[in-house]
Structure 1
């Protein structure tokens, strides 16, 4: 049985590149000194399409180094778990411990970290993207992390909410300091065992999305009681994700003060749905404003990837005094991978960026720039057969305006069967520069600009 998540530009690439002669069209701004990195699934040959789930392909990080107005290199590297290194013939094969971290890649405390969720290991990489080994933040945060930490722009600390099967009806809120060590962890009780992919952070609060996609051992081919379903399934060659839409599970959001504990969480009902990615959140007096990409449901009928209806940009306003949530639609067009100026994480924002999408994450060749002050959106179409991934914003200087800088992301061109790194003027969406890559970058997940230190 074929799955679209192994076809066209979802299909993995089979080669790692180190390219130091990159063709550039346009002019790369001199202020860009760092690496654009992006992570995504790239399973090796022999993957079974009947059991493959897009979220569980072995991780591969792609990166472009920019400095002095030049593109110095492009590299792509698999995350070298012991099992994958054996599959690639580089060492004796080891038992699988699940997919290598395939969801996000960040820089923090001098480390380059490839991230995943669900209790699987995080992996540290070199500057050139070779694998160093698992990372548990110097032993201060064992048992897994998340794909979506949020950096407090004031302190530089990483805030995160992690879930895993072994925690049962709990998720863990953590704060990692600028020294790369966890300074605080708090267990938060939830309804059951949700797939809590992301969370929101404001200047005052942490927000939890306890939504009806939950662990479902009776619907997946894994022995009940296995200590870690993802690892057990991967070890047996089974890749189906063990989480399903659960219409009996209450949909709600939880709000707690940053320095609160489990007893301080207040829960608020919302209409059943699923949220992979919030755009941003901020405080507004006795209200908490949440801008989210809302899916009507997830993993109900489509079990190979996210294809369960049109994801829209919505605003949820949590009224702490009235004890309820007001749900509004900001934009009805399908979209995913929302991003904001990282200097405004947890603070009121005007602009947000997202990739146009059909059902789930299927790209449709356009990028949206939302002006939330005006209630309008600008659209950039990349043309026939040209599909963008997630774009991130990089300011032109420390005190730059919210859209004064560039947007950066990979674009796949079906005509040439290659990808490019596109740099756009964030104010106008006009192309500033294009870095032409030697191969294609498969559709994947998240990335970030990691500036040089």
Structure 2
């Protein structure tokens, strides 16, 4: 693979038009400010409406609040996502390659102390902003845009397939890259799983030139203590995975690396490969041989959680129907023929069979669980539905049900098979909902659900705080932010130490 192609694939910036300063408008022009219902030009949906990137970094103190912020919520609610910087030509844009921007609200003693949004200062972001980049530029450098997590007193912005994590300080300034005390070799992931009981951070890393993926275990001391290579063919994209007390579960689906597309300069050279069988792999958590189980073709999106049940492994996850086009066609983002839904996959290790069951077929994404139960049996899960995301993802031949065009947060009771829906006003696009347990909570759902939600009346975002046990009731608080938070990817609650 040539150096040019390598940078196109893994850094993303080589596929974007060069720019040296922020502009006052997005490439989408005036359409970005109009509601989705009023727009007729959907050529670049990931640059418009709820996805339109913001153009400046803001800092605001003593934020206005409707309602009351619970006094025990002391920490930072952070959210990462692509926010393209200095784009000159929308044809050279892909949503997933936008520069990472972390948004955050700091809560303490019943107050919303501040809001900040900051681009992750990779070498290319620093250059575009006219800033110096300290030290040598690391290989595959990229402003990580997918997740932001706490780890052993640090805040890490994450990206898959190559780039090192970037560490941020408590005010969202970029500290620098982080390699787990010199022990990370090669790629990392955007979707780690932290087992609070074992104190271990797990990851599945992939890279387009590898003939395998890697299971990484970061020990309680903060070092990569074990790496297990799992052979695969066709270099599949593995965006997420699942973890139980005994097993690691990987999803080998038909989105694979296309070397020819990469050589031709494709922004995202991953394609739906009809010749690549879909399968699920289950490996002992301590390492060892992987058992593979065939499944019907499907695009696996995100894991809610997983756990062991006798001789079976149970995984709750979101999926999209096949085929799924990661690169998109003549637009700036991925395409699907249908909307995401919540499923349960049960891998029967004794009989060698995977059964699939739909838990909720309403359009939804970004499933989350009480993080203290990662890898353990759970009852509740949380997800979000944003109308603009459903519309933007659908290919021209997609046929969503009418109920796709709504904005809401979901709380799933997976023991009863029911779901509560916190409905939001039209145009109130909701991002991922993060659960924060109450101090000394006994019940799994005793806590709060936090999500960034667009406020169409203000043209800016609110941080919505719900009592998880009164999910459909009035929010405990709406923290009013001074600007928009574009629809993006994932985030975390970073509690005070």
Q: Which position in structure 1 is the counterpart of 2:486?
A: 442
Matched, 1:24 2:65: yes
Aligned to 1:274: 299
**Which of the residues 119, 135, 155 maps onto 1:78?**
119
Structure 2 gap ranges (5+): 1-41, 395-403
Q: For residue 243 of structure 1, what is the aligned residue in structure 2? A: 270
The match for 2:219 among 177, 193, 215 is: 177
Question: Is this contact kept in 2: 1:136–1:144, CA < 8 A?
Answer: no
Q: Deviations over 1:285-340 (max 9, x none)?
A: 00111111011132178343233022111111101011110111111111100011
Match of residue 257 from structure 1: 284
Among 257, 274, 280, the residue aligned to 1:215: 257
Structure with the bigger percentage of helix: 2
Preserved CA contact (<8 Å) 2:181 2:223: yes
SS of 2:429's partner is strand
Alignment of 1:271-350 (within 5 A): 271-297=296-322, 298-299=324-325, 302-303=328-329, 304-308=332-336, 309-350=338-379
> Aligned to 1:364, what secondary structure does the other structure show?
coil
Q: Deviations over 1:107-146 (max 9, x none)?
A: 1011110000011221011111111111111110122210
Rounded Cα–Cα distance in structure 1 between residues aligned with 2:145 and 2:377: 30
Q: Matched residues in 1 for 2:128 and 2:169: separation? A: 22
Q: Which moved more, 1:89-98 or 1:147-156?
A: 89-98
- Alpha carbons 2:255, 2:273 under 8 Å: kept: yes
Distance across 2 between alignment mates of 1:211 and 1:179: 33
Aligned twin of 2:191: 148
The match for 1:229 is none
Say yes or no: does 1:158 pair with 2:183: no
Q: Give the C-alpha shift of residue 184 in structure 1.
A: 1.0
Distance in 1 of aligned mates of 2:297 and 2:167: 37
CA contact (8 A) 1:214 1:245 kept: yes
- The 2-side partners of 1:61 and 1:272 are apart by 34
Q: 2:467 aligns with which of 405, 412, 425?
A: 425
Contact 2:412 2:420 in 1 (8 A): yes
1:274-294 deviation per Cα after TM superposition (whole angstroms, max 9, x unaligned): 112011111110011111101
Q: How far is 1:98 from its partner?
A: 5.4
Residue by residue over 1:246-295, the C-alpha shift from the partner in whole angstroms, topping out at 9 and shown as x without a partner, is 1110100000111123xx11000111011120111111100111111011
Q: Aligned partners of 1:300, 1:183: CA distance in 2, in Å?
A: 33
Instruction: Provide, for residues 186-242 of structure 1, a one-character-per-residue CA deviation record: whole Å limited to 9, x for no partner.
Output: 11112320110000000110000011001112234x35xxxxxxxxx6xxxx7x211
Aligned counterparts of 1:90 and 1:364: Cα–Cα separation in 2: 41
Check the 8 A contact 1:282/1:348 in 2, yes or no.
yes
Secondary structure of residue in 2 paired with 1:105 = strand
1:381 is aligned to 2:423? yes
Structure 2 distance, partners of 1:346, 1:398, is: 21
Is the partner of 1:165 in helix, strand or coil? coil
Q: Flag the 1:135–1:300 CA change in 2: closer, same or farther, 3 A.
A: closer
**TM-score, normalised on structure 2?**
0.84
User: Structure 1 CA distance, aligned partners of 2:220 and 2:109?
Assistant: 27
- How far residue 156 of structure 1 moved from its aligned partner, in angstroms, is 2.1
Contact kept in structure 2, 1:200 and 1:281, CA below 8 Å: yes
Alpha-carbon distance between aligned partners in 2 of 1:193 and 1:251, rounded to the nearest angstrom: 13
Alpha-carbon distance in 2 for matches of 1:384, 1:300: 28
Query: Contact 2:163–2:187 at 8 Å: present in 1 too?
Result: yes
Larger strand proportion, structure 1 or 2? Answer: 1
Shift of 1:67: 1.0
Aligned pair count reads 435
TM-score between the two structures when normalised by the length of structure 1: 0.92
Question: What secondary structure does 1:218 align onto?
Answer: helix
Q: Does 1:351 align with 2:380?
A: yes
1:37 equivalent among 78, 85, 102: 78
Q: Which moved more, 1:92-101 or 1:158-167?
A: 92-101
Once residues 140 and 363 of structure 1 are traced to their aligned partners in structure 2, the CA distance between those partners, rounded to angstroms, is: 46
CA separation of 1:300 and 1:247: change in aligned 2, threshold 3 A: farther
Aligned equivalents of 2:109 and 2:247: distance in 1? Answer: 40
Q: Would the aligned equivalents of 1:419 and 1:441 in 2 still touch at CA under 8 Å?
A: yes
State the distance in 2 between where 1:16 and 1:130 align. 11
